[in-house]
Amino acid sequence: MNKKIFIKTFGCQMNEYDSNRIFDTVQKIGFDRTENLNEATCYLLNTCHIRDKAKEKVYHEIGRVKKNFRKKIKPLVIVTGCVAQAENQEMLKREPYIDLVIGPQAYHKINHKIEEYLDKQKKIEETEFDAVSKFNYFKDIKNSSNKVSSFLTIQEGCDKFCYFCVVPFTRGPEYSRPFNEIINEAKILADNGAKEIIFLGQNVNAYKNENYSLADLILEVEKIPKIERIRYTTSHPRDMSDDLIDVYGVTKKLMPLVHLPIQSGSDKILKSMNRKHTVKDYLVVYEKLKKINESVEFSSDFIVAYPGEEDEDFNETIEIIKKIKFINSYSFIFSPRPGTRASNYELIDKKVSSKRLDIIQKHLFQNQINKNKSFENKIMNVLVENLTEDKINFFGRSEYMTPVILNGSEENIGKVVPVKITGSNKNTLFGKIENNSNQKVA
């Protein structure tokens, strides 16, 4: 029987990157990828543990698969990702339908573990942190991503231990991949058709390998002719070093959107989050970046109703939003995560939390709407990524990462084209390709 793997991915871009790399390796033991669950002989769920009922979501999902295969041959069921790391053995005990549990720093062992399981029919859990061996293994497995915009993980793990966050526990200590290995992978992606590379890391700007920094990586990847755009995510305010800021003054390819989570506008709350930066530190970075390149815009993450957040703390967050005018942001109600320091803190009333989320989102969305509106009737450079589902229009992104729906043709895919913006809403710009224009706004 043909081996077919169905991969479902929850969570951040790093999980998306990992799912693709897992497929790259299981291909070696004969798996094809399928998007049709019914024909899967292996079901892999790549999980996220960041908020809410992450664990329950996983069991719910496995329950659905179980139901789907009730009258058919059971697929091999593998759980990977951050819930796998956090729950490990527990998952095998609680849900016998799961066969293998593999943590994010053990993906290099996946083929071996699958074969071992098929041989002995004995459940397996593998959650050792071994980022060095993992990346060493994967450097010899070709990255098959052929997307116009491709992810490239350069750094993994986190040593910062914000008191609300599970990532240091699920991804392990910070590890930066060797410089040359990353450049080689970027060249492969470029040869596969990538026009944009998005460097990934939980603390991507903490990247340090020998004497190389993220700034060095950006400048080196800029030299690859086929690559037209470079982005990175997610960065920490404390690691916005001057050499990285300086790149914004000289770069031709680094996009002018900086995703820099602040979480709160109150120093009191930042301190009790163990964020290791103040509002002032953040503003210093903001001013420096604006000074060096005034086209730079910011996006951010916010946690509202963190334990101890009083009205005045919340109002300070609203003030910073008004000041910086983030053009795109994510906001969440604090969710206590097992094993983290803040999970022991007293929660804020649910109604107050929801009201604060509503208020913050109203401000953030208004910024987004205003910014998108300001692009109307202007020409923007858009990297066209694919045909939309309606098979009529095309999807691309502006330099600020904003989705753009445009007219076009297949030959525009993979190209940066000038687009006249004719309309907008909160999340999307709409436009037409402009043929003879030298005008450029963003």
Q: Is 160 in the site for ligand SF4 (CB under 6 A)?
A: yes
Among 40, 62, 148, 167, binds ligand F3S (CB under 6 A): 167
Name the packing angle between helices 311-324 and 350-374 (round to 10°): 10
* Residue span binding ligand F3S (CB under 6 A) among the ranges 9-17, 36-44, 182-190, 401-409: 9-17
Among 158, 204, 240, 320, binds ligand SF4 (CB under 6 A): 158
Minimum distance, C-beta of residue 36 to ligand F3S, in the bound complex (Å)? 25
Q: Is 7 in the site for ligand F3S (CB under 6 A)?
A: no
- Residue 165 or 182 having the CB closest to ligand SF4: 165
Phi-psi region of 406 (alpha: psi -120 to 50; beta: other; left: phi over 0): beta
Minimum distance, C-beta of residue 9 to ligand F3S, in the bound complex (Å)? 9
Contact 4, 31 (CB under 8 A): yes
**Element containing residue 409 per DSSP (H, E):** none
Find how far residue 405's CA is from the centre of its chain: 22
- Rounded CA-CA distance 419/405 in Å is 10
Which of ligand F3S, ligand SF4, ligand SAM, none does residue 170 bind to, with CB < 5 to 8 Å depending on kind?
ligand F3S
- Residue 13 or 393 having the CB closest to ligand F3S: 13
- Per-position x/- string for 247-286, each x denoting binding to ligand F3S as judged by CB under 6 A, each - no binding: ----------------------------------------
The pair of structure tokens assigned to 184 is: 């080689």
Strand ranges inside 12-72, DSSP E? 31-33, 42-47
The residue assigned the tokens 């990702």 is 81
DSSP structure class, residue 10 = -
Taking the alpha carbons at both ends of the chain, their separation in whole angstroms is 52
Which of ligand SAM, ligand F3S, ligand SF4, none does residue 48 bind to, with CB < 5 to 8 Å depending on kind?
ligand F3S
Site for ligand SF4 in 387-416 (CB under 6 A): none
- Rounded CA-CA distance 156/154 in Å is 7
Distances, alpha carbon 160 to alpha carbons 206, 208, 237, 427, in Å: 10, 15, 12, 32
Residues near 66 by beta carbon (within 8 Å), at least 6 away in sequence: 97
Q: Is 236 in the site for ligand SF4 (CB under 6 A)?
A: yes
- Residue 168 or 396 having the CB closest to ligand SAM: 168
Identity at 190, one-letter amino acid code: A
Q: Tell me the DSSP string of 296-341.
A: -EEEEEEEES-TT--HHHHHHHHHHHHHH--SEEEEEE----TTSG
- Residue 176 or 381 having the CB closest to ligand F3S: 176
Q: Which spans of this chain sit near ligand SAM (rule: CB under 6 A)?
A: 12, 50-51, 164-165, 167, 202-203, 234, 236, 261, 263, 301, 303, 332, 334-335, 337
Among 5, 12, 230, 279, binds ligand F3S (CB under 6 A): 12
Q: Is 49 in the site for ligand F3S (CB under 6 A)?
A: yes
DSSP structure class, residue 178 = -
- Rounded CA-CA distance 17/139 in Å is 14
- Per-position x/- string for 196-235, each x denoting binding to ligand SF4 as judged by CB under 6 A, each - no binding: ------xx--------------------------------
- Residue 9 or 367 having the CB closest to ligand F3S: 9
- Rounded CA-CA distance 135/118 in Å is 25
Minimum distance, C-beta of residue 288 to ligand SAM, in the bound complex (Å)? 19
* Residue span binding ligand F3S (CB under 6 A) among the ranges 6-14, 119-127, 247-255, 340-348: 6-14
Interface residue list for ligand SF4 (CB under 6 A): 158, 160-162, 165, 167-168, 202-203, 236
Interface residue list for ligand F3S (CB under 6 A): 11-12, 14-15, 48-50, 81-82, 166-167, 170-171, 202
